[in-house]
Structure 1
């Protein structure tokens, strides 16, 4: 899959956290084409994340896609099976073959499969098993805090506002440990320099 540069695959956890803190505009600072697999989009059913994602798609800031469309027939079964297995899923349960156009129904499997198909890619997720699976096959991975730090680097947000967003992330349920908050504060300060 070629995307005139880097493909940035977004997971539901990142979109939900950014939407709940009113910070989806920070995705503009991320370098690359922002992509959400359909399986991930279907995981996002609650507000404000659903509306925020729909708006980003409608405005063309994020592309929604069926990851299986990226794969050739010979690659499809092997890659999906490999991704499902790495994530602890039954390979036979992750594709909906009943629909007109078969699609992966598990967001994490879609993200890992898409990352293996893209020429240059990063997966942005806060999901630990997906992060570990990406790292195990050398796929670059980042998270919501990475988006926040990048926005400071690109001057899309001031460091103090970024720290307030960080604290808001913790309040909306991102479950940040005290040590991660301290580390993120340091990364924000370093990015501002």
Structure 2
């Protein structure tokens, strides 16, 4: 039966792309063979970057999901290394990023992996975050795991974000005006869960 040996990235500049992934994953460049730049293995599939002149076209049909206990912090690392955030996936509970050549990948909190066994226990939002937010006013959703806060009163977005950070969370995107007229922002709680805050105009 076949087994996955390596994941191969087509690349216009394999040296640059390999350095990005080496820094991000802590897997140094191990070797170079012809058009290939190869990262050290860490017990899983190899990562190999091969030179190609064909430009990237459209969204990747295959992408990597990176388990991240702190997506907000790892997002900052990705951006510092030359990657970027991909917009349009804000409600997924994870962050979609792109490397310097536009290859999409995801930063996934531990309980959001699509390969997690259905029904397996997951880590809930820390009780201290929940209690602190309740004390400061915003109503948390009734259904566990629904990481979204909605407020009808104008101006609440910044208050909620400040409360979340004071309770140990991390601001991912400060509350800002949305095209639909209201305000929205994102924060991650201490377990790395991504929350979206939406308020009225």
Higher RCO (CA 8 Å, separation ≥ 6 residues): 1
- TM-score, with length taken from structure 2: 0.28
Larger % of strand: which?
A: 2
- TM-score, with length taken from structure 1: 0.29
Larger % of helix: which?
A: 1
